[in-house]
Amino acid sequence: MSLPDRDKPLLNELSGYRVVESPYRTEEGKNVSLIPEGAQKLSVPEFNRLALEGRIAGGKDGIILAEDGNQNVLVGQIVTRIWPAATGDASVDKQRFERVEVPFTLEFQGDRVKQLLGPDTKFKRESGSWGGILLNLLPIVLILVILFFMFRAQSGGARGAMSFGKSRARLISPDKNKVTFKDVAGISEAKEEVWELVEFLRNPEKFRDLGATIPRGVLMVGAPGTGKTLLARAIAGESNASFYSISGSDFVEMFVGVGASRVRDMFEQAKRTAPSLIFIDEIDAVGRQRGYGMGGGNDEREQTLNALLVEMDGFENNSNVIVIAATNRADILDPALLRPGRFDRQVVVNLPDVRGREQILQVHARKVKMAPGVSFERIARGTSGFSGAQLANLVNEAALLAARKGLKEITEAELEEARDKVSWGRERRSLAINERGRRITAVHEAGHAICLLKTPHSEPLHRVTIVPRGGALGMTMWLPSDDKMHQLRSEMLDQLVVAMGGRCAEQIVFGDVTSGATGDIKSATNLARRMVCEFGMSEKLGLIEYGEHQGEVYIARDLGTRSRNYSESTAELIDSEVRFLVDSAYERAMAILTENRDKLDILTEALMEFETLEGSQVMDILEYGEMKNPPSRVTPPPMPSEVEEQPGKDDSGHTEKKEAEETRADGAEERKMEGELEQAERDPFSYNPVDEFGKDGGEKK
């Protein structure tokens, strides 16, 4: 077992070793696995005994001192001597053992090992495999990788693991921003207000020669979807200036001081690319009034706001950086943020009027295939109160509907259907309603429609339907002739009459009432209370506002400060006046429907037959007792599941599977309606055909 001197290891390095059999190296310089799978353990006494008996052998390389994982091992073999009975000569057999593990202690170091294995025992140093080393390093590498990605996510991407204080503003270069004022419609006044910014960024010397300074900041205030962000992008596109876009919530971070640092970094970036625009969307997330937070003056949000105030109008001059901000809650912004020198100008972006809606529809129609002859003016009149975002959604819904029908162009019919879907929801023709439930809904809607046509100050009737749509089982829709900035008292009184029409029709036809007028009563009560408390339309209470009506509530400011500013006796008088208005409207509706009882029955039967009637057809019934041009039944567009399979494809078993799925779906829908219809079979007047006036069965403006 002697080895050359160059292979002798330091014997005092032996500590905590295991003796194992080894599949020794097969090639010079090539490391192989030194530890066989599944080895038998040797205790210390057993190892001593084997060593004293001379049964520890090292093969051709002697006893190998190798590395196994994070510890060293002694690699060798156990020698078994066999004494044949005949000859008496001893033969040596190197017996293979499964695994030998010896927990070496200090007594096996140095001379003790030589004493056990013999003075001529040599050791060879063998390095372990790279696999063991990498296996030991794997947990550390995994931890480092996880920490790296955690810091990277917190820092906002690939800017480094410690870039928390860097701005998250996204730079939109002029060559990538293609939005111009041609893409903005319906807000002409707002466009005129911000045009000065464009002229200044294009030709600043024109203003500086006169000693004029451009506004440091422009605050856009308006309802959601009115085009505030689009207008800001158009300013950048027209002026060819660098455009930085950021949200108010991007300044908020889990670490203290990060928001203020990001504000400073954002303005530093804007200065380097001046002239530039900084657009802060939803600035109320960071610019709320100070002093109302739970953290007081040390609130992190207030530190961010202070940094923003200093950067906008501090000691340094940032004349080539213009800040544009957007919000729909200007009432909660800090006064220091709104003063001249910071946000010098407030641009109110209102909902578009009828002409503005028509222009917006025309802008979005350029992006789709629209059939010639479509009346955008009619669609605009029927979308009172729609924002620009809602009108864009309307055009997109019309395009989707036309695609479902297989049309090549979008017609006015698709725009009408899309408007109804956006306003009141999609038709639910699959909803299982029995004949009695349909008749109750038809009577209810007929009462609304007749009262609408018989009151002189109501809007023109547009459509009556008993087809369920959204959460409604039927509805009466009117189409305003134009946008009204003021509403007369007589118009409100007629609106109360229309609200009571459905309940009165049920009373006249069935001699009883249903719960379907819940929404009608709620809507009428709210309108009557506003007439008494806000509009001063009560003769007994006079021109006094009762209650505080200051718009939206800011909890941090208004919590515990609002109270009723009138006495109990005045409250009783208010309730009596509200009831008087509603009762008077109910009596007027009863008189109208009683006088036109025959027309009520004809209109009910027409709704039962055709389900949907246009306003002109209802007017024919009231004037002539019949319809001059009865409607044709409209076939709804097919559902995606109803589209036939394309020819040439293997649909084996698909038809049966689809029929089974449809049968299960129909059964589930019937079971869902069973509980509601069971009560209707017993008592038709306990059935609830409508839930909310203006949405479920009532008028919708």
State the pLDDT at residue 248.
Answer: 80
State the pLDDT at residue 94.
Answer: 42
Res 525 pLDDT > 70: yes
Res 477 pLDDT > 60: yes
Asked if 607 and 505 touch (Cβ cutoff 8 Å), the reply is no
Long-range CB pairs of 484-489 (<8 Å, 24+ gap) are: 488/457, 489/531, 489/535, 489/537
pLDDT tier for residue 410 given thresholds of 50, 70 and 90: very high
Res 359 pLDDT > 50: yes
More confident residue, 654 or 76: 76
Res 97 pLDDT > 80: no
Write the pLDDT tens digit of every residue in 190-200: 888 888 888 88
State the pLDDT at residue 610.
Answer: 87
pTM above 0.85, yes or no: no
Write the pLDDT tens digit of every residue in 608-640: 888 888 888 888 888 887 777 777 655 555 554
Mean pLDDT confidence for 211-228: 86
Q: How far is the C-alpha of 414 from the C-alpha of 398, rounded, in Å?
A: 5
pLDDT tier for residue 164 given thresholds of 50, 70 and 90: low
State the pLDDT at residue 127.
Answer: 47
State the pLDDT at residue 70.
Answer: 46
156 is in an annotated binding site: no
Structure-token pair, residue 520: 């009608």
CATH of span 435-551+568-634+682-700 = 1.20.58.760
**Backbone φ and ψ of 648, nearest 5°:** 95, -10
Burial 586-608 (b: 16+ CB within 10 A, else e): bebbbebbeebeebbebbbebbb
Q: Where are the beta strands (DSSP E) in 134-226?
A: 170-172, 217-222
State the pLDDT at residue 696.
Answer: 37
State the pLDDT at residue 42.
Answer: 55
Q: How far is the C-alpha of 411 from the C-alpha of 391, rounded, in Å?
A: 16
Residue ranges of domains in the chain:
5-128, 170-349, 354-424, 435-551+568-634+682-700
State the pLDDT at residue 660.
Answer: 47
Res 380 pLDDT > 80: yes
444 is in an annotated binding site: yes
pLDDT tier for residue 587 given thresholds of 50, 70 and 90: very high
State the pLDDT at residue 633.
Answer: 59
Write the pLDDT tens digit of every residue in 655-694: 444 444 444 444 444 444 444 434 443 343 333 333 333 3
In the block, tokens 């032996």 appear at 14
Write the pLDDT tens digit of every residue in 38-84: 444 556 566 667 666 666 654 444 444 444 444 445 555 555 444 44
Q: In the β-sheet with 19-20, what is the strand arrangement from edge to edge?
A: 19-20, 71-75, 63-68, 123-126
Range in 484-498, 559-573, 626-640 with the lowest mean pLDDT: 626-640
Write the pLDDT tens digit of every residue in 275-310: 788 898 888 888 888 766 555 445 667 788 888 888
Q: How far is the C-alpha of 492 from the C-alpha of 537, rounded, in Å?
A: 10
Give 306's contacts (C-beta < 8 A, 6+ positions apart): 260
State the pLDDT at residue 229.
Answer: 86
Mean pLDDT confidence for 268-278: 83
* Assigned CATH topology for domain 170-349: Rossmann fold (3.40.50)
226 is in an annotated binding site: yes
State the pLDDT at residue 150.
Answer: 80
558 is in an annotated binding site: no
Res 498 pLDDT > 90: yes
Q: How far is the C-alpha of 352 from the C-alpha of 394, rounded, in Å?
A: 15
Q: How far is the C-alpha of 520 from the C-alpha of 690, rounded, in Å?
A: 9
User: Would you call 49 helix, strand, or coil by DSSP?
Assistant: helix
Q: How far is the C-alpha of 73 from the C-alpha of 130, rounded, in Å?
A: 16
Write the pLDDT tens digit of every residue in 109-150: 445 555 555 555 554 444 445 666 777 788 898 999 898 888
683 is in an annotated binding site: no
Q: How far is the C-alpha of 171 from the C-alpha of 147, rounded, in Å?
A: 29
Percent pLDDT > 70 in the chain is 63
229 is in an annotated binding site: yes
CA–centroid distance for 44 within its chain? 68
State the pLDDT at residue 398.
Answer: 93
State the pLDDT at residue 299.
Answer: 65
Write the pLDDT tens digit of every residue in 419-438: 888 887 777 776 767 788 88
State the pLDDT at residue 16.
Answer: 32
pLDDT tier for residue 155 given thresholds of 50, 70 and 90: low
Mean pLDDT confidence for 8-37: 38
More confident residue, 5 or 218: 218
186 is in an annotated binding site: no
Asked if 165 and 206 touch (Cβ cutoff 8 Å), the reply is no
364 is in an annotated binding site: no
* Assigned CATH topology for domain 354-424: Helicase, Ruva Protein; domain 3 (1.10.8)
Structure-token pair, residue 215: 């506004």
213 is in an annotated binding site: no
Neighbours of 161 (CB within 10 A): 15
- Catalytic residue (choose from 238, 358, 417, 445): 445
Q: How far is the C-alpha of 230 from the C-alpha of 281, rounded, in Å?
A: 11
More confident residue, 189 or 317: 189
State the pLDDT at residue 475.
Answer: 84
More confident residue, 700 or 162: 162
Catalytic residue list contains 205: no
